[in-house]
Amino acid sequence: MSEMQPLARGDVVGPAGAMPRADEELSGPSRTFWAVVGRAYWRRAMNRVATWWVGFIVALTVLVPFLANEAPYTAVMKLHPLDAQGKPLPVFWAREWPLFRDLTRVDWIWLVWGAAIVAILIMGRRRGGAREQGGEESPRGRWLCKAAVVVGVAGAASIAIACLKTDYLDARDYHRLAHVGAGEEAQMKEALFPPLRWGYADQEPLEANRLFKEPSADHLLGTDQNGRDVLSRLLWGARVVLEIGLVSEVIALAIGSVYGALMGYFVGKVDLLGMRFVEIVEAVPLLFLLITIVAVFGRQFFVLMVIIGVTGWTGIARFVRAEFLRIRQADYVAAAKAMGLPLRSILFRHMLPNGLTPVIVSFTFGVAGNIVSESILSFLGIGVEPPTASWGAMLADAGDPGVVFRWWLALAPGLMIFLTVFAYNIIGEGLRDAIDPRLNKLE
């Protein structure tokens, strides 16, 4: 795990710690700090490509059930489906929508969030468009408010879905049903399949002898040890990578920033003790800790997200503390103190937002690091539980290349990890340069 340490530490040491001096960049009174940063960031083609790639991953995450699934969007069965009592259902039900019925809670939650993201982006674009046309620009505050409402609605909807929806277990083998001349069961009369007819856990029948097949027309990227389609798993893997990367980093960020903020605000004894604790935590053998936690809680997906998050907060804590130590001296904090504002308010309303700005940079690096962590955990045999499709697990499934080298199993997932990690790192670099333009501006 320490392979990914250097750059993460670099954030702390590096010169990016300087407070963004947005005022220097102001070319017009209406340009806010973020507008400047955004413009500087978007100017570079590299950053644009990386951002599009991450956008692509997000889109994939949301839409993958409709792209790669064994169930057809819609189908008509030769025999009408039976109800629980064994009587045929009315004709109205004869057209089935298996793919939609099979959508899981996670699928629905991602759909909700996908819609939320699209909504926010459209609102943002409209705002930008209005500005460009020289029209009345809606204030940033209102846009933020609207976005917050959308996020809130999406969050509430996700919670509702998580509590209320039960996942449907589809016992049917659609490959066989669609196959002409297949025997005993009701066949499909007509069906509309997704572009890729394989789900991530969907296996070729064992007797068909399609384990470990090299790429062919049937399976563009070959099949793995269970006769599953590698391409389908690759697409589904995007979701796992995004979830692990984001959720773990959010956890790390939450712990690290609060901890760092407290230390940075209270200097002195609290800080001293707190820093010792950080040192202690950093010196604990990470690997043993990981294996222990996994042994206690199992290899469930959310456990892994929490683990990766919980073990990754120290860097952020150090970073935020350093920021706070600097901000403490700022006038507005002194003013807030003089006004007799409560500690909570000073810390979280005034200091934290300012201290967090550079943390966004380390957030993107952190996401990249988490993706790598996940692959390392899978490699050590403590990654996500099967049959979840994660790129790290797929890489591990490729087996020991020293024994039998199955390049098609390792090549694609490795490439995807690389591209995604690279994209996040470029975004991090790009943001750092944009937020702290000092380096580029020299001379």
Name the strand (E) or helix (H) holding 237: helix 230-266
What is the pattern of x (binds another protein, CB under 8 A) and - over residues 221-250?
----xx------------------------
115, 154 contact by CB (below 8 A): yes
- Using CA atoms, how far apart are residues 157 and 166, in angstroms rounded to an integer? 15
Backbone phi, psi, residue 191, to 5°: -155, 145
381-410 positions binding another protein, by CB under 8 A: 381-382, 385-387, 392, 395-405, 407, 410
Per CB under 8 A, contacts with another protein among 156-195 are 166-173, 184
* Closest CB 38 distance from another protein, rounded Å: 21
For residues 237 and 391, the answer to whether their CB atoms sit within 8 Å is yes
Segment near another protein (CB under 8 A); pick from 145-153, 154-162, 309-317, 378-386? 378-386
Contact (CB, 8 A) for 261 and 320: yes
- In the complex with another protein, the residue whose CB is nearer, 111 or 380, is 380
Site for another protein in 12-31 (CB under 8 A): 13-15
Chain positions 279 to 298 lying near another protein, rule: CB under 8 A, are 279-285, 287-289, 291-292, 294-296, 298
Q: How far is the CB of 315 from another protein (least distance, A)?
A: 13
Site string for another protein, 70-109 (x = CB under 8 A): --------------x-------------------------
Could you count the other beta carbons within 10 Å of the beta carbon of residue 147? 16
Q: In this complex, which beta carbon is closest to another protein, that of residue 3 or of residue 23?
A: 3
- Single out the residue of 262, 246, 266, 241 nearest to residue 312, CA to CA: 246
- Residue selected from 23, 136, 207, 331 as contacting another protein according to rule CB under 8 A: 207
Tokens of 102: 């099979």
**Nearest-approach distance from CB 130 to another protein, in angstroms:** 35
Burial of 353 (0-12, 13-18, 19+ CB in 10 A): exposed
DSSP secondary structure letters along 273-314: HHHHHHHHHHHS-HHHHHHHHHHHH-S-HHHHHHHHHHTTHH
Q: Do residues 327 and 355 make contact, with C-beta atoms less than 8 angstroms apart?
A: yes
The CB-of-202 to another protein minimum distance in angstroms stands at 8
Kindly state the smallest distance separating residue 190's Cβ from another protein, in Å. 22
Number of residues that bind another protein (CB under 8 A): 91
